[in-house]
A and B are shown apart, each in its own frame.
Chain A
């Protein structure tokens, strides 16, 4: 746009949306939602199921913050559509603790200061859980590789790596974490 020209900005709004009744398995429970089909898993978890533990950093699949597990595999919930995930097992950070007992990853993250602002933490916990299920005793390079799709701006990543290692050691020894 050249200087001193006049410009008018006016774009038409989108049209009506199509809704569907969708059945989801989330943290071991069956939940039904009636939502527009284009609504992402991230939005449905946060807005329709009130599971706000899953955070968002870009909503474009770039930062890893919204990572959840689908059948044990890490998935960016901002790019996933619930209509494609009916009857799959979805796990969010709220489902990580069992009967109020934190997962060893959660305890290790808390103990070692791996959560500073804590905003990227749920996504990283989910990605780390998936890693430890496939590879119980990963090397540091394997952890870095597995988590490299998750950004964190606070920690410089070091405490996160240490926490995943600590959790892995405790889980491998089947050792209970101390109560924080």
Chain B
């Protein structure tokens, strides 16, 4: 942070992305755009049953079809995998049992897609249909059906019970206690790009996979495990990425299958999922039922909070253990919660597996908490914005669940959206049908722990300077559209004093680039940024050493900017960057350096303490203004104001792009998006039926950047990819209440629910479903608070 007194030459400018021209000209080659000589095409045969035993698979007919090269079944790939070491429960192709409609049972590589598909139809699979578990209640009560043979009991994948401080003591101190039940429906990422993967196994025994993945490093590890090849013989390349949002951060069966098919066929093999298959691949937002009990004093200070979550996990583990912990982790990092208890359970059901979607496990509890606080404020006669404002977590403190807080811009975020939206004049005063709502939130800037236990860096960067002044930066990070390649170029350019267009960025290629764990948990800018700074400063020191000698200026008076290295006190005195590079190469030999980043250790040592810690939390606040038609229940969102504590905007244009995209995605979840099933079959597996907002439904947005310069981030930067989605959903629900006086404690707040709630209110009844699944949580692990 030494350079902060200087004006930045690159950081903070609204620059074009390094890959922008490739994307607007159609030149960027996404995974399905790749074609290799002799390439075959693959298709997978999938289960039509949500739960069944495989009695036999007969492939002779498919094998006999002209044009078919390989027919593969699960017996050829017996090793299980999964993204988390604790949930290695997936098979590439089901061996004995299918667990959801769409679970693959066989795969074919053929000369073209049509032949592969025809061959799939010739495969005879005999199933014994088993009873299927379709929801959390069934998972908890049907003792006779067990989807997996692991987990504490029945169909429970994971259960958690943690108590921080004495919650009962806190409730005893409260002036009032409130309880609410919420339901947050599942939704899916709906990336515009269908997942595609191309595997190529060469006669040299080396395997290359190009895939639309957010996590090439984890795919690399899974391939080595399942295919039993040395990791050093496998290369995974994340192709330019057509939308992720968390949906391409698992290891997928089709990625491993095309590699195996290529090994058996001796030819490259490509697969591209159909849109329907993408809906079934899923790994999206968990449907979560929640119960929340909070004790407060008269001025809205929280004395204790007890939270329960019930997650419908779908058929496999995926990131589910982390998702479950995340539903209970971040309640404490916004407003002060001195005593806190969290109980949660994730169950298996016979539906496509859920996983991480933008905000991973935190939008559901954040929505519940912010609506709950809105109700508490009303009960106490307090302004909901002011009540939140009064009880913020202090900066540089430690929460009751042992999370370390850095800078906190939440107060300023709340103030700014209140001011810009005209909140004070509007809240509670707008005419019937017209309302305004507010909410705050927080999110991690990168998970504190990697997915598999290891002591190595989370992010690595190599930089090379050539004698022509060209700079190449190599990093395993994966640009999924958020601009992470550009961030590498901006940071390296800033540190070396050149322009981003002078830099060649090479990323997401396990043969060429040092490991970065992937584009998940909003970690990339903070971690790769810090690693880049470290690498670039090593090189800058070499450049400054030769420049200092050449110019006769002390080393620490030098500055690099705009392709020159010069004397800060006499900027006319300097040498071009290229000249410094030549002098430095002559002095030191080939110019190259590495940098790496590992997040600070979390404070907590209790089981589950690995989920929640981060180098720094981002904060956001949203105000939503909308109209509700009381006759039809239709909602028109007029405007969304979103203020975000970004720490420092490395490129404000890209930050605002992430905010606008998150607001949009949040409105989709709040108002219409549903990943729902009937007897295990997706009700809406197409882009027409699965409603998402179009140009016409997306309102005006105002993005406000708050910069708190957090010491943990590069130049003070925090995340923006995910956290900004969080406050928008509860702000919508709070605005609906302000508009028409009914609480929709459920997402999406679709027109039918609003009409039903208004009708119930007219008849003096209470609408909604306040019932909770019955589960006995284990005795809590009691964790004593630490002093901050």
Chain A contacts to B: CB under 8 angstroms: 1-14, 17, 46, 50-60, 62-63, 65, 92-94, 96-97, 102, 105-107, 109-113, 115-122, 125, 143-145, 147-161, 180
**Residues 660-683 of chain B, each 1 if its beta carbon lies under 8 Å from chain A, else 0:** 111111000000000000000000
* A147-B243 contact, Cβ under 8 Å, with A8-B126, A65-B192, A153-B191: no
Which residues of chain B are near A110, meaning CB under 8 Å?
16-17, 20-21, 23-24
Q: Does B121 sit at the interface, judged by CB under 8 A?
A: yes
Indicate if the CB atoms of A57 and B121 lie closer than 8 Å. no
In the assembly, what is the distance between CA of A62 and CA of B466, in Å?
48
Closest to A61 in B: B688
What are the 9 tightest A-B residue pairs by CB atom distance, in nearest-first order? A53-B26, A118-B23, A117-B481, A156-B664, A119-B242, A13-B118, A156-B660, A110-B20, A52-B33
Write the nearest CB–CB distance from A150 to chain B, whole angstroms.
7
Closest to B24 in A: A106
Indicate if the CB atoms of A14 and B118 lie closer than 8 Å. yes
Which residues of chain A are near B696, meaning CB under 8 Å?
144-145, 148
Indicate if the CB atoms of B687 and A118 lie closer than 8 Å. no
Indicate if the CB atoms of B122 and A118 lie closer than 8 Å. no
Indicate if the CB atoms of A113 and B692 lie closer than 8 Å. no
Q: A57-B193, A110-B20 are in contact. List 20 more A-B contacts (CB 8 A).
A: A1-B49, A4-B128, A4-B129, A6-B55, A8-B124, A8-B126, A11-B121, A13-B65, A46-B33, A52-B26, A54-B26, A57-B194, A57-B275, A60-B275, A94-B26, A109-B20, A115-B24, A119-B242, A153-B189, A153-B665
Which residues of chain A are near B654, meaning CB under 8 Å?
113
In the assembly, what is the distance between CA of A10 and CA of B653, in Å?
53
In the assembly, what is the distance between CA of A148 and CA of B480, in Å?
24
Indicate if the CB atoms of A63 and B192 lie closer than 8 Å. yes
Q: Does B772 sit at the interface, judged by CB under 8 A?
A: no
Write the nearest CB–CB distance from A13 to chain B, whole angstroms.
4
Chain B contacts to A: CB under 8 angstroms: 16-17, 19-30, 32-33, 35, 48-49, 52, 55, 65, 114, 118-119, 121-132, 189-194, 240-245, 274-275, 480-483, 653-654, 656-657, 660-665, 686-688, 692, 694-696, 698, 701
Write the nearest CB–CB distance from B318 to chain A, whole angstroms.
20
Indicate if the CB atoms of A6 and B128 lie closer than 8 Å. yes
Which one, A17, A51, A158, contacts B660 given CB within 8 A?
A158
In the assembly, what is the distance between CA of A6 and CA of B55, in Å?
9
A-B contact pairs, 7 of them (CB 8 A): A110-B21, A113-B657, A148-B694, A153-B191, A153-B192, A159-B657, A159-B660
Indicate if the CB atoms of B701 and A156 lie closer than 8 Å. yes
Write the nearest CB–CB distance from A120 to chain B, whole angstroms.
5
Write the nearest CB–CB distance from A107 to chain B, whole angstroms.
8
Which residues of chain B are near A157, meaning CB under 8 Å?
660, 664, 694-695, 698
Write the nearest CB–CB distance from A80 to chain B, whole angstroms.
18
Indicate if the CB atoms of A119 and B17 lie closer than 8 Å. no
Which one, B27, B123, B687, contacts A60 given CB within 8 A?
B687
- The CB with the most chain B CB atoms within 10 A, among A102, A120, A147, A180, is that of A180
Write the nearest CB–CB distance from B245 to chain A, whole angstroms.
7
Indicate if the CB atoms of B16 and A60 lie closer than 8 Å. no
Indicate if the CB atoms of B275 and A58 lie closer than 8 Å. yes
Which residues of chain A are near B192, meaning CB under 8 Å?
55, 57, 63, 65, 117, 119-120, 151-153
Indicate if the CB atoms of A154 and B24 lie closer than 8 Å. no
Indicate if the CB atoms of A62 and B657 lie closer than 8 Å. no
What total count of A-B pairs have CB within 8 Å?
A: 214
Closest to A11 in B: B121
Indicate if the CB atoms of A121 and B275 lie closer than 8 Å. no
Closest to B127 in A: A7
Indicate if the CB atoms of A4 and B130 lie closer than 8 Å. yes
* A109-B121 contact, Cβ under 8 Å, with A55-B30, A62-B686, A158-B698: no
Indicate if the CB atoms of A53 and B21 lie closer than 8 Å. no
Which one, B121, B123, B695, contacts A161 given CB within 8 A?
B695
In the assembly, what is the distance between CA of A13 and CA of B123, in Å?
11
In the assembly, what is the distance between CA of A62 and CA of B689, in Å?
9
Closest to A96 in B: B25
Indicate if the CB atoms of B26 and A93 lie closer than 8 Å. yes
Which residues of chain A are near B52, meaning CB under 8 Å?
7
Write the nearest CB–CB distance from A91 to chain B, whole angstroms.
12
Indicate if the CB atoms of B657 and A2 lie closer than 8 Å. no
* A57-B661 contact, Cβ under 8 Å, with A9-B48, A158-B701: no
Indicate if the CB atoms of A155 and B26 lie closer than 8 Å. no
Which residues of chain B are near A159, meaning CB under 8 Å?
656-657, 660
Which residues of chain A are near B193, meaning CB under 8 Å?
55, 57, 117, 119
Write the nearest CB–CB distance from B737 to chain A, whole angstroms.
24
Which residues of chain B are near A117, meaning CB under 8 Å?
23, 191-193, 240-244, 480-481
* A113-B17 contact, Cβ under 8 Å, with A7-B129, A156-B661: yes
Write the nearest CB–CB distance from B53 to chain A, whole angstroms.
10
Write the nearest CB–CB distance from A146 to chain B, whole angstroms.
9
* A55-B125 contact, Cβ under 8 Å, with A63-B687, A154-B661: no
Indicate if the CB atoms of A9 and B657 lie closer than 8 Å. no
Which residues of chain B are near A54, meaning CB under 8 Å?
26
In the assembly, what is the distance between CA of A58 and CA of B122, in Å?
25
Indicate if the CB atoms of A9 and B653 lie closer than 8 Å. no
Closest to A152 in B: B192
Which residues of chain A are near B27, meaning CB under 8 Å?
53
Which residues of chain B are near A115, meaning CB under 8 Å?
17, 20, 23-24
In the assembly, what is the distance between CA of A50 and CA of B657, in Å?
31
In the assembly, what is the distance between CA of A99 and CA of B118, in Å?
43
Which residues of chain B are near A94, meaning CB under 8 Å?
25-26
